[in-house]
Amino acid sequence: MTRKKIALIGGGNIGGVLAENIAARELGDVVLFDVVEGLPQGKCLDILEGLPVINSDSHLKGTNNYADISGSDVVIITAGLARKPGMSRDDLLNKNLEIMKSVALNVKQHAPKAFVIVISNPLDAMVYTFQKVSGFAPNKVCGMAGILDSARFRAFVAMELGVSVKDVHAVVLGGHGDTMVPLPRYCTVGGIPVTDLLPADKIAKISERTQKAGGEVVELLKTGSAFVSPALSAISMAESYLKDQKRVLPCAAYLGGEYGIKNYYIGVPAVIGGEGVEKILELKLTAEEKQHLDASFQAVKSLIDSIHL
């Protein structure tokens, strides 16, 4: 059984939490790449020196040389700028687009067989860019957003009801932005529909807080955006691929006609296993839910169509 290798492109806030958690769980050996000299090397050395305390034998290497990612099984991309207060995710498009193009060409060269998880914002446009520029099979490229957005919805429901998060399940569809589509009808608490446990106005408030949750953290932190919850969310995707778990996870996946959408990435429930995104699950939506998904898709489509690759 060869050791798994996970390359992290971007060694900033999220990259550091990814490296730490992957190593602590011994999910694989970590190569942390960044363009800033010393940053990935310092973070990896710090984590490495802590692993004896938690009895982890993961290897970590910080690098500024793409050749070090060669042969990676999984590549997780956070390279790019993060939001500052007052910025929308879309405001990051131009700068992060150029970065993503260079990342895609380097990953294609050095880790052509990897399963790629894109985190950089604006997420739906960035994952689309990576797939088109790299030419990777669409099912080997996905974006992390829906797991985070659904986790936020789950956390707020659990807080409101005073129950374990373990028993709250939820799904959020659509783009990773204010138009995302929380689906209360598909949220259950110990198998009980949340609509049987909370009044409509409380659920509406939780949906709205979920849509704005990223901005809420940005306004509090002032220096950047959420970084622990995104990292934990991406790790669940990587683990499902590496261990062929076939988990059903909401993520930005390439649609070839599902939900009436073709040749775009957007957040949908997907089965992630050893082949990558193995299946897209199509939910039955009410007219209102479909309308919200269409609006979210239009927001994603106009952003992606503004990119001339």
Q: Which is nearer to ligand TXD, 82 or 268 (CB)?
A: 82
At which residue do the structure tokens 């990259």 appear? 15
Report which of 201, 109, 187, 116 is spatially closest to residue 154, judged by C-alpha positions: 187
Position 250 contacts ligand TXD (CB under 6 A):
no
Cβ-based nearer residue to ligand TXD, 187 or 226 = 226
Q: Applying CB under 6 A, does 76 fall inside the site for ligand TXD?
A: no
CB of 11 to ligand TXD, least distance (A): 5
- Check binding of 61 to ligand TXD (CB under 6 A): no
* Host H or E run for residue 62: strand 60-63
Q: Determine if 35 is a binding residue for ligand TXD (CB under 6 A).
A: yes
Distances (CA, A) of 203 to 161, 173, 196, 207, 217: 11, 16, 11, 6, 20
Structure token digits, residue 120: 């950089």
Is residue 123 close enough to count as binding ligand TXD by CB under 6 A?
yes
Instruction: Assign 235 to helix, strand or coil.
Output: helix
Q: Which of 10, 28, 174, 250 binds ligand TXD (CB under 6 A)?
A: 10
For residue 33, the minimal CB distance to ligand TXD (Å) is: 6
Minimum distance from CB of 309 to ligand TXD (Å)?
17
Q: Exposed (0-12), middle (13-18) or buried (19+): which is 199, by Cβ within 10 Å?
A: exposed
% helix, strand, coil for the chain, step of 5: 50, 20, 30
* Binder among 62, 182, 184, 230 for ligand TXD (CB under 6 A): 230
**Does 71 interact with ligand TXD (rule: CB under 6 A)?**
no
Question: Measured on CA atoms in the order 55, 58, 59, 63, is the torsion positive or negative?
Answer: negative
Instruction: Please report whether residue 93 would count as binding ligand TXD according to CB under 6 A.
Output: no
Choose, from 110, 169, 176, 292, the residue flagged as catalytic.
176
Known catalytic residue: 169?
Answer: no
Residues 147-166: x where in contact with ligand TXD by CB under 6 A, - otherwise, as a string: -x------------------
Q: Which pairs with CB-CB distance under 8 Å and at least 24 residues apart come from 220-225?
A: 222/84, 222/85, 223/84, 224/13, 224/82, 224/83, 224/84, 225/13, 225/82, 225/83, 225/121
From the list 140-148, 192-200, 257-265, 280-288, the region that binds ligand TXD by CB under 6 A is 140-148
Per CB under 6 A, residues contacting ligand TXD are 9-15, 34-36, 39, 78-83, 92, 96, 99, 102-103, 119-121, 123, 144-145, 148, 176, 224-227, 230
Which residues have a catalytic role annotated? 176
